[in-house]
Chains A and B, each alone.
Chain A
């Protein structure tokens, strides 16, 4: 299993600003994922972050808007850039450990953009 923490847990931001969300895992993991979940909706994968390489973005998400860092095997950041109210959502960090496909999720960051 993996224990994941995220900072901040929630934030209220002004339009046009940027917010960086941190994800810390208690063990070394190869693959980390960033998801977005709008209220009452499903989870949408933003990107996959592997240590030592560029993040891989899903269709509809671009690096300029959601830059990701993965400096080591236990940490990653997701930045939501030039925010608009449409970016209001819960952002979740997730990891996959060992040889199994089971994914563990962080507690999420609830972002509100005014």
Chain B
């Protein structure tokens, strides 16, 4: 079945540094979604990418979907302490179910 791999598992940065997490699927995806989960909280939807090569930005966050629709990345520019949390990618194929990556836990120290 479809597997979604995400790296790194953990990332510790100083405030102001950039951060990137990568997601790779074993199969071609119809779309990929990104979620953020704050410590003690539940996952919150950030964005969905559908088109091959798509790039979307949300303020300091940049999301990319690979040309082959098998990989994606989330890049945060100039991290802030409010960016702390775990970032999950979730891949969807032709079905309705999402396969979540293992997540990247981001720690930002001031």
Interface positions of A (Cβ within 8 A of B): 31, 33, 40-45, 48, 58-59, 92, 96, 100-108
B101: A residues at CB distance < 8 A: 42
The interface on chain B, measured as residues whose beta carbon lies within 8 A of the other chain's beta carbons, has a size of: 21
Contact at B48–A100, with CB atoms within 8 Å?
Answer: yes
Contact at B42–A45, with CB atoms within 8 Å?
Answer: no
Contact at B31–A43, with CB atoms within 8 Å?
Answer: no
Contact at B33–A102, with CB atoms within 8 Å?
Answer: yes
Known: A101-B33, A102-B33, A105-B43. A41 touches B98 (CB 8 A): no
Complex Cα distance, B33 from A108, in Å, reads: 20
In the complex, whether B85 has a CB less than 8 A from a CB of chain A is no
Count A-B pairs with CB separation below 8 Å. Answer: 46
Contact at B96–A104, with CB atoms within 8 Å?
Answer: no
Which chain B residue lies CB-closest to A104? B45
Interface positions of B (Cβ within 8 A of A): 1, 31, 33, 41-45, 48, 88, 90, 92, 96-103, 105
A40: B residues at CB distance < 8 A: 105
Contact at B97–A58, with CB atoms within 8 Å?
Answer: yes
Which chain A residue lies CB-closest to B4? A42
Choose among A33, A44, A103 the residue that contacts B45 (Cβ–Cβ < 8 A).
A103
Complex Cα distance, B102 from A40, in Å, reads: 9
Known: A42-B88, A42-B103. A103 touches B98 (CB 8 A): yes
A104: B residues at CB distance < 8 A: 45
Complex Cα distance, B103 from A48, in Å, reads: 22
Contact at A101–B48, with CB atoms within 8 Å?
Answer: yes
Complex Cα distance, B90 from A107, in Å, reads: 19
Contact at B42–A107, with CB atoms within 8 Å?
Answer: yes
Closest-CB distance, B108 to chain A (whole angstroms): 18
